[in-house]
């Protein structure tokens, strides 16, 4: 058979759990690299080992632990299907993969759609790790899985399961390759060259500026990509030639990844130290971008990434989207270096989701939160419990956009300027004013008016008022709040708490190492 007539898809299940398991940075980095290479070098090696000629298949997408391949021969697709779970179990123990084979009948988009439905159904199934360990098997204390060997963390040695050992081995290989300037491919993106040619910190502690300072987790992804892909599929239905449609789909997938990686590189390149990264990359594939970095860099990096992503999508995807481009959203969580990473990451994702929902996925925007409690939860719950002191008042104006397009949400740069203005004001006055809101909105407004009277003519006060006006869009005594109609009810929002949070974590504004409690 000379035509590409069989569609095969393989995708890793539970990627986040696999990366975050163990709560040690070296395991996360190693796991992330295993995921990165699964649809790339690992897949290429698999196809080569089972002796499938390159002319008998076409890979149309590979990113984020997933690959989609067109085969000419059904037996080749089934051969890979049978052996893939076993090979992945050896390559990345503890990582499950889902597969599907579909004969191409009619057009390629309909085949892909049917396959995605099947893949989604399989995602909901529970997968058992074999062989099942008996009750007398010793377990690794960090994971609860059977012990396979010992691993050194710092100066100590502890029992480890096979997945931990594999991740650690991958981390050490990556670290060795970076120290020796070994690249997989000279044609790789600038972002990957940046990662592979510099030492990656082994622990979060290396990112903390002082004992009590904060570090940040940043997660970003595109707005409405599913809808965009659906529109692309509808256009591809008009292309009767399977190979031509496949090339269009492959190009779109590659360009999305290119836009993400180039945006990440431009956002991060200026915070790199010589032979040492001031951040820890976890995911940069497809439209997903997740890193750990210093608290002082987080807002700037997020803003730069979102701006660059929009611009890069306009450039690279013009043939698919015209002048529309794609916006993106980000969530940032500031935590103490000892805080459980898994909990913080869940909050980070909910902040990103909040940014998307509040802007209706029309604008690039970010939201952030500083964790001061022993646990983290969904951001909607935090708003209800901590940021809504009165029924009609909310102590945040998040999300903040990275452009001036959206009149309903302020720009992040205006919030940063407000934080700088607040830092110049007497701390007692600002604290008193913020505490008054928990009594009533009117009390806070009276406290603001008293401050205006006491400091009348003070240049620092003028700067504060200008800062508030730029964020809320109101002037003078009215600059403290912005009014939105929410389900036919008046609801007031103030940016003061958001500015205080920036002062608490950001050494750009704070003089005590980012700990401004």
d(CA 125, CA 197): 40
Q: Model confidence over 393-410: pLDDT tens digits?
A: 999 999 999 976 656 789
**Average pLDDT over the chain, rounded to an integer:** 88
**Cis bond before residue 131 (omega within 30° of 0):** yes
Beta bridge partners of 146: 139
Q: Are 145 and 139 in contact (CB under 8 A)?
A: yes
Output the pLDDT for position 507: 53
Q: Are 498 and 397 in contact (CB under 8 A)?
A: yes
Output the pLDDT for position 512: 40
pLDDT at 180 over 80: no
Least confident of 180-184, 446-450, 477-481: 180-184
Output the pLDDT for position 169: 93
pLDDT (average), residues 482-486? 80
Place of tokens 């008022």: 465
Phi, psi of 60, rounded to the nearest 5 degrees: -100, -15
The 8-class DSSP code of residue 474 comes to: -
> For every residue of 355-376, which 3-state class applies, written as one string?
HHHHCCCCCCEEEEEECCCCCC
Output the pLDDT for position 85: 92
Q: Model confidence over 199-208: pLDDT tens digits?
A: 888 888 888 7
d(CA 183, CA 10): 26
Output the pLDDT for position 431: 78
**Helix spans in 211-271 (H):** 225-236, 242-268
Output the pLDDT for position 196: 85
Structural domains in the chain? 6-123 (3.30.70.1230), 197-386 (3.30.70.270), 412-505 (no CATH)
Three-class secondary structure of residue 285 per DSSP = strand
Q: Model confidence over 91-111: pLDDT tens digits?
A: 999 999 999 999 998 889 999
pLDDT at 31 over 90: yes
At residue 348 the predicted structure's pLDDT band, cuts being 50, 70 and 90, is very high
Phi, psi of 327, rounded to the nearest 5 degrees: -90, 175
The two tokens of residue 395 are 């102590």
Output the pLDDT for position 359: 92
At residue 517 the predicted structure's pLDDT band, cuts being 50, 70 and 90, is very low
Output the pLDDT for position 513: 38
């Amino acid at each position: 058979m000379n035509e590409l007539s069989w569609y095969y898809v393989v995708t890793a299940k539970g990627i986040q759990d696999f990366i975050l398991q163990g709560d040690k940075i070296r395991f996360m980095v190693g796991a992330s690299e295993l995921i990165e290479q699964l649809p790339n070098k690992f897949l290429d090696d698999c196809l080569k080992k089972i002796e499938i000629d390159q002319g008998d298949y076409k890979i149309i997408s590979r990113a984020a632990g997933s690959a989609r391949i067109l085969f000419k021969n059904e037996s080749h697709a089934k051969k890979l299907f049978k052996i893939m779970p076993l090979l992945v179990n050896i390559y990345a123990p503890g990582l499950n993969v889902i597969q599907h084979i579909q004969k191409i009948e009619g057009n390629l988009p309909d085949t892909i759609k049917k396959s995605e439905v099947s893949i989604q159904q399989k995602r909901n199934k529970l997968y058992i790790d074999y062989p099942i360990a008996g009750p007398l098997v010793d377990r690794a204390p960090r994971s609860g899985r059977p012990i396979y060997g010992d691993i050194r963390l710092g100066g100590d040695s502890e029992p480890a399961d096979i997945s931990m050992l594999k991740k650690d081995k991958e981390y050490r290989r990556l670290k060795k390759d970076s120290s020796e300037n070994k690249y997989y491919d000279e044609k790789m993106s600038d972002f990957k060259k940046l990662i592979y040619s510099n030492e990656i910190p082994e622990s979060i502690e290396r990112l903390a500026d002082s004992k009590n300072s904060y570090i940040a987790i940043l997660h970003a992804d595109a707005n409405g990509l599913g809808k965009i892909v659906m529109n692309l599929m509808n256009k591809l239905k008009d292309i009767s030639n399977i190979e031509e449609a496949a090339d269009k789909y492959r190009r779109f997938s590659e360009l999305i990844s290119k836009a993400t990686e180039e945006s990440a590189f431009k956002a991060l390149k200026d915070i790199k130290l010589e032979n040492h990264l001031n951040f820890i990359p976890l995911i940069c594939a497809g439209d997903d971008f997740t890193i750990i970095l210093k608290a002082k860099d987080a807002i700037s990096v997020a803003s730069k990434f979102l701006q660059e992503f929009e611009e890069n999508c306009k450039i690279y995807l013009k043939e698919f989207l015209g002048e529309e481009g794609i916006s993106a959203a980000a969530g940032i969580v500031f935590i103490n270096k000892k805080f459980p990473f898994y909990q913080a990451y869940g909050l980070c994702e909910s902040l990103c989701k909040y940014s998307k929902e509040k802007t209706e996925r029309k604008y690039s925007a970010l939201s952030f939160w500083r964790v001061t409690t022993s646990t983290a939860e969904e951001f909607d719950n935090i708003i209800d419990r901590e940021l809504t002191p009165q029924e009609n008042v909310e102590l945040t104006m998040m999300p903040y956009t990275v452009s001036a397009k959206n009149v309903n949400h302020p720009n992040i740069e205006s919030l940063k300027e407000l934080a700088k203005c607040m830092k110049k004001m007497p701390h007692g006055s600002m604290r008193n004013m913020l505490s008054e809101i928990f009594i009533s909105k009117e009390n806070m407004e009276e406290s603001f008016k008293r401050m205006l009277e006491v400091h009348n003519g003070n240049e620092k006060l003028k700067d504060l008022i200008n800062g508030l006006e730029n964020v809320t869009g109101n002037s003078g005594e009215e600059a403290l709040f912005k009014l939105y109609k929410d389900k036919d009810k008046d609801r007031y929002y103030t940016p003061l708490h958001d500015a205080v949070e920036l002062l608490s974590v950001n050494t750009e504004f704070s003089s005590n190492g980012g700990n401004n409690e």
